[in-house]
Amino acid sequence: MSSTRRLVPTEHASLTAAVADGLLPTERAWIDFKREFYPSTWPTDAQAKAQLRAKKHRDLATDMAAMAVSGGFLVVGVEEHKKAKTFTPYPATLYPGMREAIDALARDLIDPPVYVEITEAEDPANLGYGFLIIEVLESPVAPHRVDGVYWGRSDTGNIRLSDDEVERLMVARGRSTERIVAALQTTVKCDPIAELARGTAHLYFTAISTRGWPDMFARYAKDNQAGIDLAQRCREVAATVHAAGHIPAGVDYTVIYQNTTNCRRSAKTGGMWLTSWNGQPREGIDHMVGVDDDGAIRMIELSAGSLDNGLSGLMQLAQSTGAPGFPPGNGRVLYQELIRLRVIDMLHLVAVLSQDVGYVGTWMIGVRVDQLKDHVAGDQRGRFPAAAPAAFDDEVYQATTTVSRGQLAAAPTVAAEILRRLYRGLGVERQLDSTN
């Protein structure tokens, strides 16, 4: 089943009309309606009131845990008329601090925690009342449990998951890892520089949707015009990376897909590649970004480290054109900060392209860096961290993870975690923490 966007209006007037006119479906696996968050009257006894409040919290936590398997919406402020099988708007109380309280429930009562996005649609004619829209994001670590019970959804409501159903979902997690590793290997095979000819570290990034559909990104990949459209979209997205706060202030940095303007269709991936070169790729300088018809997003960076002489590709190119000489390099240098920023770029692109096609599911992410052995941490200008860097003692670094749409919004955090073992192996993990 694909995870296309299930629309729930977030403005009071639009949502009122959608409910009143029956434009939203009756309760089903991806949407559930509630009249109120708390009851309109409370017991006078303090202990009974506390027990009722705790029950309401557990009930909502159960709803969110169940919904997190595939994602969906809980809409508070809708009254059900069971005999007529209809729904009408109801002016639910929008309590102060409600959003923070629900977010805390999603983190504290559900194991593992779920991610939610909460919107208040207040009635401008009746302040303090309206709708509360809780979007529960599809979870990469489902199933979830409340009070030791795993929950899922059916078209009729919440269901306790059997042991077999829990095992099936957990096995599916393992298969997801196999899928992203295979997809990442496909990206590596698309490297335009043959493995034996590579003289510097290369970075590979791959993202695949967990619940995508055929031709998910065909609008950006099916032919030459689609490739031109993709290049234009990438330039638009590149302009938003700094604005999103993903890049540290004052850093002179060009987003990887800002200048990938040459497009070509690939039979290997079933998609479109954008390259930064026209003719032959230049190792130590160039890169490529790709989008597959069926929802994969890829990147290959040909300049993740210095050349064999210790210079960056751009420094060597400058020397070859008669620019003033540069001092000789100091061994093999890995540009770990460039790698981190490239991963952030790609996570941001994944988030934006997801929105373009209305995909609200999770993503499997894979990162690989090869030709690593004996590299030390540094940058393209020959600068090294204050702490004595350690030489990386393996040829390849590879890591995978699964992220929700909500986590994509925190791209620097995701990048930090997927690259943490690389930084640790280089002896510069503290640098990673200071930039996140």
More confident residue, 186 or 168: 186
Least confident range of 166-175, 207-216, 410-419? 166-175
Nearest alpha-carbon partner for 299 in 207, 219, 363: 207
In this structure, are residues 289 and 281 in contact, taking their beta carbons and an 8 Å threshold? no
CA 294 – CA 330 distance, rounded (Å): 44
pLDDT at 314: 64
Domains of the chain: 12-161 (3.30.950), 171-435 (no CATH)
- Model-level pTM? 0.79
- CA 344 to chain centroid, in Å, comes to 10
Sign of the Cα pseudo-torsion (74, 149, 212, 180, in order) = positive
- Percentage of residues of the chain with pLDDT beyond 90: 63
More confident residue, 144 or 391: 144
> How confident is the model over 339-357, as a mean pLDDT?
95
Q: What is the pLDDT of residues 93-129, one digit of tens each?
A: 999 999 999 999 999 999 999 989 899 999 999 999 9
pLDDT at 1 > cutoff 60? no
E-assigned strands of 123-281?
129-136, 144-146, 149-154, 157-160, 202-209, 262-266, 271-275
pLDDT at 4 > cutoff 50? no
pLDDT at 26 > cutoff 80? no
- Percentage of residues of the chain with pLDDT beyond 70: 90
pLDDT at 29: 84
List strands edge to edge, sheet with 149-154: 144-146, 149-154, 157-160
In this structure, are residues 400 and 180 in contact, taking their beta carbons and an 8 Å threshold? yes
Nearest alpha-carbon partner for 19 in 112, 120, 88: 88
- The set of residues, in sequence order, having a beta carbon less than 8 Å from that of 42 and lying 6+ positions away, is 49, 52
Give the pLDDT band (50/70/90) at residue 40: confident
Give the pLDDT band (50/70/90) at residue 244: confident
> How confident is the model over 5-19, as a mean pLDDT?
86
pLDDT at 60: 96
Give the pLDDT band (50/70/90) at residue 317: low
Burial class (CB in 10 A: 0-12, 13-18, 19+), 285: middle
pLDDT at 321 > cutoff 70? no
